[in-house]
Amino acid sequence: MNNIIVITGPTGVGKTKMSIELAKTYNAEIINADSVQIYKDLNIGSAKIKENEMCGIKHHLLDIKNIDEDYSVYDYQMDGRKKIEEIKNKGKNVIIVGGTGLYIKALLYNYQFEIQQSKKDENYDKYNNDQLYELLLKKHKNVNVHKNNRKRVIRLLNKDNVDNNKTNELLYDVMFIGLTTNRDNLYKIIDKRVDEMIDEGLIDEVKKLYKKNKNSKILNSAIGYKEIIKYLNNEISLEDSISLIKRNSRNYAKRQYTWFNNQMNINWFNVDYENFNNTINEVEEYIKKFN
């Protein structure tokens, strides 16, 4: 098998379990594509795989940053592409697993970034919108922005380099596997998962981390953490905090579906939760057709 396999889908659907089984079958190593699992110590709230669940499979881009450090999509793109080459050079296959769609898109497609901000910005007050747009086209011929979006036009004029994002061009031979289930079942899975996180000690995990890292961007923005912080700050009750995690997780799952269906050619598989092996077999039969 020479393809890269991507296993994705909404939160809680069973991606981790599927990735381990396929990695064992196809002699693969796994690259994480979850933006929260990048960080050390964010374990319970991110449903991070435990070492005893890895079955000896090598995992990459897990626990690589401290929670007081920033980590961008561009950073992930660079790190992920290096890992792909490293794994392939070992003669192994690559499985990418996670639900952060932008990470997956940036990693596997010709997804480029606007970079290299000029040292001194100009305000261009003396130019009207038409004049500004003409200046922009002289500097960046292929830019895609409406001329009346003055703020963005000025921001782009102050860029030394603007890349044209060719986001639909795949750079690798990729097979996209999506795991799914009906909405009611998914919501039950999410709610149960949150309750299990609480039982596992999520509140203590957040309390310990927040005490030392009150200004951490990821801690204050990640679902499962930001809601508990509201409780710790006496803004809401614990009950409301838990309900909020469930609601935000369900809303995130909706957004994930929208992203994947609009951005990637996903082959969706309904998960058989009574016998997960049936889903594994179905996915493996699908993979065999292309190898």
- For residue range 51-68, list pLDDT tens digits in order: 999 999 999 999 999 999
Residue with tokens 């909706």: 254
Same domain, 19 and 129: no
Q: What letter does residue 50 receive in the DSSP assignment?
A: P
> Parallel, antiparallel, or unpaired for β 109-110 and 166-170?
antiparallel
Same domain, 140 and 212: no
Of 164, 179, 204, the residue at which a domain comes to its end is 164
CA distance 29 to 31: 7
Same domain, 146 and 213: no
* Backbone phi, psi, residue 199, to 5°: -65, -30
Q: Which tokens is 185 given?
A: 């079942």
- pLDDT tens for 2-60 read 679 999 999 899 999 999 999 999 999 999 999 999 999 999 999 999 999 999 999 99
Q: What's the pLDDT at 165?
A: 54
- The answer to whether residues 110 and 171 touch, using CB atoms and an 8 Å cutoff, is yes
- pLDDT tens for 90-128 read 999 999 999 999 999 999 999 887 644 444 556 678 788
Element (DSSP H or E) covering residue 261: helix 238-263
Same domain, 217 and 159: no
Confidence of residue 135 (pLDDT cuts 50, 70, 90): confident
| C-alpha closest to that of 190 among 250, 258, 259, 269 | 250
Q: Assign residue 256 the CATH number of its domain.
A: 3.40.50.300
- pLDDT tens for 157-184 read 776 554 445 568 899 999 999 999 999 9
Q: What b-and-e string marks burial along 49-87, b requiring 16 or more CB atoms within 10 Å of the CB?
A: beeeebeebebbbbebeebeeebebeebbebbbebbeeb
Q: Which tokens is 207 given?
A: 């309390």
Mean pLDDT over 72-96 rounds to 96
With a cut of 50, say whether residue 189 has pLDDT above it: yes
Same domain, 133 and 176: no
- The answer to whether residues 206 and 232 touch, using CB atoms and an 8 Å cutoff, is yes
Range name among 91-95, 188-192, 246-250, 287-291 with the lowest pLDDT average: 287-291
Same domain, 71 and 195: yes
With a cut of 50, say whether residue 142 has pLDDT above it: yes
At how many degrees (to 10) do helices 150-157 and 129-139 cross? 30
CA distance 27 to 22: 8
With a cut of 50, say whether residue 84 has pLDDT above it: yes
Averaged pLDDT of the chain: 90
Domain count, the chain: 2
What's the burial of 144, exposed, middle or buried (CB within 10 Å: 0-12/13-18/19+)? exposed
Same domain, 177 and 276: yes
Q: What's the pLDDT at 40?
A: 97
Residue with tokens 């992203």: 259
Confidence of residue 1 (pLDDT cuts 50, 70, 90): low
Same domain, 149 and 223: no
Same domain, 57 and 105: yes
Same domain, 89 and 195: yes
CA distance 264 to 104: 10
Residue with tokens 């809401």: 236
Domain that holds residue 70: 4-110+170-288
Same domain, 194 and 86: yes
Same domain, 259 and 120: no
- pLDDT tens for 254-275 read 999 999 998 999 999 999 999 9
Share of the chain above pLDDT 90, in %: 76
| C-alpha closest to that of 41 among 18, 19, 60, 65 | 65
